Amino acid sequence: MAQAPAPKPAFDPNVLHAEVLLDRHGFPTGVIEGKANAAFAKALRGFQTAKGLPVTGKLDARTTAALNPAMRPATVTLTLSERALAGPYTNPIPKEYADQAKLTTIGYRSPLEKLAEMFHTTPETLVALNSRETLLRPGTRVVFPNVLPASRSYPGNLSDQFRQTLATLNVDATQPQADRVVVDKSEGWLRAYAGDRILAQFPATMGSAHDPLPIGEWTIKGVAANPDWQYNPAILRTADKSDSKQIVPPGPNNPVGVVWIDLSKEHYGIHGTPEPQNIGKTESNGCIRLTNWDAARLSLMVKPGTPAVFQP
C-alpha cells in the first residue's frame, strides 16, 4: 500500500522569520502566520520600494540581505506570567450592540486570543509553534514570534492606560515621525512618509460599495486611545434605522479596537479592529482599519495637523 504523503507544515519557518523582520522594519503583513500569501508579497513590495531594491514581491537574496536575518531570531521562548494571562475576558461577546453597551469593557475572548494579539499573530499559529497540549498557565514555556520591542519608554504625555496597551501589544516606543499619511485604495495599504522616504507600510481595510473611501486630502485631528464607540444607525448605511444609539465600551474587541485616529472628514478615522486576521480581506464602513498593533504604532508617528491623503 502506498504511503500517504506527509502533511504540510502549518507554516513556513523562512516566511515566518521574514514576517518578523518586516514587522520590525515597519512593513508588517498584518498577522504573522508564516504563509507566502498576497499580504506577504505586498509587504515585501513595500519594503523593496522603500529600500530601492528590485520590486519583485518575493523573498529573494537581496531582500533577505536587506532584512538582515541576523538582527533577530524568528521566535522567542518566554515563561507565561500571571500578568500576561490576566483578563478581563469577554466570552461570549454579545452580538447586539445594545447588549455590548451594558458591559464595562469588550475584552479578549480568551488567554490564547490575548497572547496571539500580543505577538502579532493568530491563535492557530501559536498552536502550530507549540504543542497542542500546551497549558496556558503561569510558569508554562511558550514559543512566540519575536516581535518584542527594543524600548517601552513611551512618551510621557500618554495616559498610563495607553502606555500599558502599547506595552501589551509589543509596540516599540521609538517610532519615526511622519509628515504625511497616504492611503491607497487600489493597493490596499496605508503608508507613513517623511519627505520622499517611506517610513512604514501597513495593510489596511478601507471602504465598501456602500461606504467608499473618501478620496481627497484630509488632516489628522487627534488620537483617542482605548476609545469607546458610538453605534449610530443614522450614519451607518447598513444599520437598522429603527435601532437606538448605543455606546460600546472600550476594549481590544471594541469595533474600533484600541485606537481611533480622528480625521477632518466628519465621522471618519483610522482605527484598530477586533478581527486582525481579516485586514485587507473584508470591507469597512468607509474608515481605514488596521490591526490593533499597527494602529497603535501609527498613533505614535502622527500628530494633529498631519496630512492624510486618500487616493484611488
SS3 263: strand
Backbone phi and psi for residue 295, each to the nearest 5 degrees, phi listed first: -65, -40
Residue with grid cell 469595533, as numbered in its chain: 255
- For residue 208, the model assigns a pLDDT of 67
Backbone phi and psi for residue 67, each to the nearest 5 degrees, phi listed first: -65, -25
Distance (Å, whole) CA 123 – CA 143: 12
Copy the grid coordinates of residue 94.
Answer: 454579545
DSSP, res 206: E
Residue with grid cell 482605527, as numbered in its chain: 271
238: pLDDT strictly greater than 90: no
Kindly list the structural domains of the chain, giving each domain's residue range(s) and its CATH number in brackets, ordered by start: 180-311 (2.40.440.10)
For residue 223, the number of C-alpha atoms closer than 13 Å in the C-beta half-sphere is: 21
pLDDT category, 132, cuts 50, 70, 90?
confident
The conformational region for residue 30 under phi > 0 = left, psi -120 to 50 = alpha, else beta, is: left
List, for residues 156-193, the tens digit of each pLDDT value. 999 999 999 999 999 999 999 999 999 999 999 999 99
Query: With contact defined as beta carbons under 8 Å apart, do 60 and 18 qualify?
Result: no
Query: With contact defined as beta carbons under 8 Å apart, do 35 and 55 qualify?
Result: no
Quote the pTM value. 0.93
- Count Cβ atoms within 10 A of the Cβ of residue 123 and give its class: 0-12 exposed, 13-18 middle, 19 or more buried: middle
Sheet holding 259-263, edge to edge: 197-203, 189-194, 180-184, 307-311, 216-225, 259-263, 269-271, 288-289, 205-206
Among 54-68, 168-182, 235-249, 293-307, the least confident range: 235-249
- For residue 49, the model assigns a pLDDT of 98
Copy the grid coordinates of residue 44.
Answer: 515585501
